[in-house]
Amino acid sequence: MMRAIFTVAAFALAMPASAQERAPALNQLGFEPGDPKVAIVAVAGDPIAWTLVDAGGHTLARGKAQPYGDDPASGEPVQRIDFSGFRTPGTGYRIAVNGRSSDPFEIRDGIYAPLAKDALAFFYHQRAGVPIEARFVGANWARPAGHPHEIAKCFAGADQRGLQWPGCDYALDVTGGWYDAGDHGKYVVNGGISLWTFLNAYERRPAAFPDGSLKLPEAGNRASDLLDEARTEMEFLLRMQVPDGKQLSVPVGPSKPLKPGQARWNADPADFATINAGGMAHQKVADRHWTKLPMPPQDDPEERLLYPPTTAATLNLAATAAQCARLWRGVDDGFAARCLKAAQRAWAAARRNPEVYATNSFDGSGGYGDSDVSDEFYWAAAELYATTGEGAYLAAVRASPHFTTEIREPGWPSTATLGTITLATVPNGLPGVEVKRLRAAIVAAANRFLADEAGNGYRIPYVAANYPWGSNSSLLNRAMLLGLAYDFTRDAKYRAGVIDAIDYVLGRNPIGTSFVSGYGTRAMQNPHHRFWAHSMDSKLPGPPPGVLSGGPNSTAMSDDVAAKMKGKCAPQKCWADDIRAYALNEVAINWNAPLFWVAAWLDSRT
């Protein structure tokens, strides 16, 4: 990973001249009565006085802020205002400092329930193959089906490197699923972690989203609405599985040594070899070439293609299909059996082909390259063991180094933690002492995240010299582990850490913006998305409520908007609300999934 040095000069450049005059930043949605309540003000010097006022301007509380000092992450000096002691429900509250007031906010029970539903509704909006109906989303966001009856053939011919791919002798019906992000690609590796997050939320609270609680076409089928939405993606992943007996020629083995100046992510793939690909999963289905902005999915003119199977995609299928098999048992036994069969086929195929990696060789879609799939093997083994109890899967779990090593926040290229969460929370055959050890590992990770709060002025459980692509999802995946630590221990400090994360996403940040559309006085409005593209075409809508921006990115400033900011922004300020800024303001299923999980976890009523 590239690492840049944040210099003193850059700190001075990033600090706005008006920092002394900025209003306090806080969660623009508000707070539950008993939760911690913190605002941040960018000001140097001695502790500054603050007041809490109601909608009529009456003072309800007052105090002194706690200076943090210079904060490299935000590029400014900050002070923290803690008004947690005020618990009276109401609306229109503000924190005032030096004559400037924060955005208005509420205090009430159940404040996160609408956010959880809207973050979940994002996935209905992202559905492929079916019309998005006005009766569920409103006329503004309704659209015809994108890519209905999607029968795709394998990519064949020369890729961008000039490598010749022979293709395959079959086509697959891969209709449905979720569009991955702001483009029209559908990716198994990103779908896998997103689907797992959905199913984990269900497994934790199966009664939280009963039939009819969400606006979905499946309402009335007597199944959980959360399972209904998850099944959309599960059905798609099942369709991406290679038929038995198919021989394919693909690169096998580690990438070739890097050439001078060649980045690791762009390494040349290994030589081609013919494999028995039956049971593997194709990496993705996507356009042959990138489409322009804007481009509603029903107008996509590009040829749709299956891209080569990979070991990582195959293990994503194995893991989620195993999860499916236990959760649909008793709900739809036939579907559960279908999922288990697919999971076992995928596991066998991955064991047979353990080194088939994605290549960054194609136009029109993201590469999602991953040269270490030991974490996916562990995750898949854990899910299969939790579902079947079979000794072969337990042996694979125990043989993995991920069973005993320190855990971190999950992400699509680092999925081992998902397996640990399953083994620590789902009843299985592990001895109690081992389950206790796995839970302790999650709590230990949560403690490290809380310790990180001391290293940044905005008091979030995250410290990095530079912020990565999709930094908001990294933070929210940490919040998920903090939530689990609270579930295990009932220690209030872990819920406080989750609150710190959601506060940042909803406005307690140096930009003073809520990164979630429709939530906050100044919420993100112009995501990188080909349909929610109102800023480019007035006939198209902006985003619906509940859509999460990827957030600040100071490590891969690859789009034209970000490139102009490079070297001129502190890590937390490398962001722009601009549809062209795909590196800063794209949306994605694996980013909205933890937003949903965290909001649902925070809802006091479930």
Evaluate whether residue 7 is within a structural domain.
no
CB within 8 A of 437, min separation 6: which ones? none
Evaluate whether residue 379 is within a structural domain.
yes
Phi and psi angles of residue 309, each rounded to the nearest 5 degrees, phi first: -65, 155
Query: Catalytic residue among 218, 225, 577, 603, which?
Result: 577
Report the C-alpha gap between 240 and 171 in whole angstroms. Answer: 10
Residue 21: per-residue pLDDT: 61
Evaluate whether residue 342 is within a structural domain.
yes
Distances (CA, A) of 597 to 183, 329, 370, 476, 600: 24, 23, 25, 9, 5
Report the C-alpha gap between 548 and 470 in whole angstroms. Answer: 10
Distances (CA, A) of 17 to 21, 42, 68, 70, 573: 9, 11, 19, 15, 15
Peptide bond into 251 cis (omega under 30): no
Q: How far is CA 257 from the centre of its chain?
A: 31
Report the C-alpha gap between 15 and 331 in whole angstroms. Answer: 55
Closest C-alpha among 72, 68, 580 to residue 294? 580
Token couple for 487: 């579930």
Evaluate whether residue 141 is within a structural domain.
no
Integer-rounded Cα Rg, in Å, for the chain is 24
- Number of domains within the chain: 1
Residue 135: per-residue pLDDT: 98
Report the C-alpha gap between 309 and 223 in whole angstroms. Answer: 32
Closest C-alpha among 136, 152, 105 to residue 307? 152
Query: Catalytic residue among 228, 287, 586, 603, which?
Result: 586
Q: Which amino acid is at 358?
A: A
Residue 263: per-residue pLDDT: 81
Evaluate whether residue 58 is within a structural domain.
no
- Tabulate helix, strand, coil % of the chain (nearest 5): 35, 15, 45
Closest C-alpha among 123, 131, 167 to residue 593? 123
Report the C-alpha gap between 68 and 422 in whole angstroms. Answer: 38
Closest C-alpha among 437, 353, 370 to residue 397? 437
Evaluate whether residue 240 is within a structural domain.
yes
Residues 367-400 as b or e (16 or more Cβ within 10 Å = b): bbbbeebebbbbbbbbbbbbbbeeeebbebbeeb
Residue 433: per-residue pLDDT: 98
Q: Is the entire prediction scored with pTM above 0.85?
A: yes
DSSP 141: G
Reduced to 3 states (helix: H, G, I; strand: E, B; else coil), residue 21 is helix
Report the C-alpha gap between 298 and 130 in whole angstroms. Answer: 10
Closest C-alpha among 488, 429, 465, 494 to residue 35? 494
Tallying the residues shown for the chain, one arrives at 606
Handedness of CA 387, 389, 392, 396 (dihedral sign): positive
CB within 8 A of 563, min separation 6: which ones? 557
Domain that holds residue 373: 148-256+264-401+418-425
Evaluate whether residue 92 is within a structural domain.
no
Report the C-alpha gap between 51 and 24 in whole angstroms. Answer: 11
Q: How far is CA 170 from the centre of its chain?
A: 33
Evaluate whether residue 195 is within a structural domain.
yes
Report the C-alpha gap between 533 and 591 in whole angstroms. Answer: 19
Closest C-alpha among 561, 572, 539, 550 to residue 457? 572
Active site residue 577: yes
Active site residue 586: yes
Report the C-alpha gap between 345 and 504 in whole angstroms. Answer: 42
Phi and psi angles of residue 385, each rounded to the nearest 5 degrees, phi first: -70, -45
Please give the helix or strand (H or E) that residue 96 lies within, else none.
strand 90-97
Active site residue 183: yes
DSSP symbols for 413-471: TB-HHHHHHHHHHS--SS-HHHHHHHHHHHHHHHHHHHHHGGGSTT--S---SSPPTTH
Residue 605: per-residue pLDDT: 60
- Which residue ranges in the chain fall short of pLDDT 70? 1-21, 604-606
Token couple for 485: 């630590």
Query: Could you tell me if 501 and 517 are in contact, meaning their C-beta atoms sit under 8 angstroms apart?
Result: no
* Residue pointed to by tokens 């890590």: 571
Residue 12: per-residue pLDDT: 32
Report the C-alpha gap between 325 and 334 in whole angstroms. Answer: 9
Query: Could you tell me if 315 and 383 are in contact, meaning their C-beta atoms sit under 8 angstroms apart?
Result: no
What CATH code is carried by the domain that includes residue 197?
1.50.10.10
Active site residue 133: no
Q: Any idea of the CA torsion for 517, 519, 520, 526, to the nearest 10 degrees?
A: 0
Q: Which amino acid is at 370?
A: D
Residues 304-334 as b or e (16 or more Cβ within 10 Å = b): bbbbbbbbbbbbbbbbbbbbbbbbbeeebee
Query: Catalytic residue among 528, 529, 578, 603, which?
Result: 528
Query: Catalytic residue among 118, 183, 370, 603, which?
Result: 183
Query: Could you tell me if 373 and 416 are in contact, meaning their C-beta atoms sit under 8 angstroms apart?
Result: no
Token couple for 114: 């609408």
Token couple for 536: 């480019």
